[in-house]
Amino acid sequence: MKQYFFVILVLLLFFVSGCEDEKESPQENVGNVENCGDGICDFIELNKHICPEDCIEILPPSSVDDKYSVDSDFPDLSTLDIMTPVESGVVYITMMVHIEGWNNEGISEGSFQQHVQAVEKLATLFEEHNAKATFEASPEFIEGYKNWNGTILNELYDKGFGIGIHADAGGSADRDGLTQEEFTQEIAIQKKNAEEVTGLDILHVSGICSSLDWVKAATDAGYLFTSGTVGYCAMALPENERPEEYSNCSNPSVCHGEMPLDLKDRVHPWRVSSGLNWLEDDSNGHLVVFASENVLAAIGTGDSQVFEESDIEEYI
């Protein structure tokens, strides 16, 4: 059996210059299935869930309509032994890109178009190296997408990129004293808004770590996947089960390191059903966690706004 290893990096897309005024009409969301059946799970097949013949080991086989029932052929991730050498395996190193930080793009078309240009530039870089990423849009970007007739997310999806939501809601839920129900409603509304303006099924969310049960909130809101787990996610665990460094986090920014702490626990995705024990694989869980490594532009210099060669050297 092949073993699949996932290493996810976080790339924050904040500052660029320039603008773009012309827009194209959204394209119909259709997949390219000409390579289906060749035994290779390529990125388009993986992201669009269109070829279970090739991706059976890593894709939930059910349809979006039935919410990818866990009564499926999705592997029992708890049985995978990453310490046992294998003759061949697949290592997926992917990036999730947070399209965030431009808080006025819902009311400023110029700001929105600058952000679109930054996304296009980064996507082109990925394509030049035959790589893919999951682009996670903030609520502000989705607002601009609606107000200014955006097309970039649909275009990226048609090229095989993943599209998700960076909710940035967990810490604010704690700060504002939201109930579990209110927190769930907030991220469910973000999902609904994104689906309405793109016509896509949004299944991926990040930015939901909270002292509330963020696993249950994501599941109840209809998400299937989450990434970007940081130290603040530990606040949902019972106090006596939190790592010492994340035992009493006041907000996400002060507990933004990697979680789980050990690399071997972050390599494989796993299923979860509750924030109270989200570090444990649950074969009946409805939410799949892809643990993340680090903010790529902060690894070498510590400056998340500057990307330098030292960041690449430190990661390697």
Residue-wise pLDDT for 112-159, tens only, equals 999 999 999 999 988 988 888 999 999 999 999 999 999 999 999 999
Domain count, the chain: 1
Residue among 127, 62, 90, 81 nearest 6 (CA): 90
DSSP 162-205: EEEEE---HHHHHHTT--HHHHHHHHHHHHHHHHHHH-S---EE
pLDDT tens readout for residues 67-121: 444 444 444 545 545 455 556 667 777 788 899 888 889 899 999 999 999 999 9
Does residue 24 lie in a domain region?
A: no
Q: How many C-beta neighbours within 10 Å does residue 160 have? A: 18
**Domain that residue 240 falls in:** 8-17+34-315
Per-residue pLDDT band for 289 (boundaries 50, 70, 90) equals very high
Does residue 3 lie in a domain region?
A: no
Q: How many C-beta neighbours within 10 Å does residue 158 have? A: 17
Using the Cα atoms of residue 298, residue 266, residue 153 and residue 46 in order, give the sign of their dihedral. positive
- Spell out where the chain has E strands: 4-13, 90-99, 133-137, 162-166, 204-206, 225-227, 270-272, 287-290, 292-295
Alpha-carbon distance of 109 to 123, in angstroms, equals 21
Per-residue pLDDT band for 164 (boundaries 50, 70, 90) equals very high
Please report the pLDDT score of residue 294 as a whole number. 61
Please report the pLDDT score of residue 295 as a whole number. 57
Does residue 60 lie in a domain region?
A: yes
Contact 5/89 with Cβ under 8 angstroms? yes
Q: What is the chain's mean pLDDT, rounded?
A: 77
Residue among 221, 220, 162 nearest 190 (CA): 221
Mean of pLDDT values over 54-66: 41
Does residue 2 lie in a domain region?
A: no
More confident position, 190 or 301? 190
Q: Pairing mode, if any, of strands 292-295 and 287-290?
A: unpaired
Q: What would the two tokens of residue 243 be?
A: 């790592």
pLDDT at 248 over 80: yes
Does residue 164 lie in a domain region?
A: yes
Mean of pLDDT values over 291-296: 68
Contact 41/55 with Cβ under 8 angstroms? yes
Residue among 65, 31, 67 nearest 221 (CA): 67
Does residue 22 lie in a domain region?
A: no
Mean of pLDDT values over 177-193: 95
Please report the pLDDT score of residue 303 as a whole number. 54
pLDDT at 312 over 60: no
DSSP-derived letter for residue 244 is G
Cα dist from 207 to 10, 118, 218, 303, whole Å: 11, 21, 11, 20
Cα dist from 164 to 48, 85, 201, whole Å: 13, 34, 9
User: Residues 6 or more apart from 241 whose CB is under 8 A from it?
Assistant: none
More confident position, 202 or 264? 202
More confident position, 22 or 274? 274
Does residue 106 lie in a domain region?
A: yes
Does residue 51 lie in a domain region?
A: yes
Which helix (H) or strand (E) covers residue 117, if one does? helix 109-128
Highest mean predicted confidence (pLDDT) among 49-58, 117-126, 146-155, 296-305: 146-155
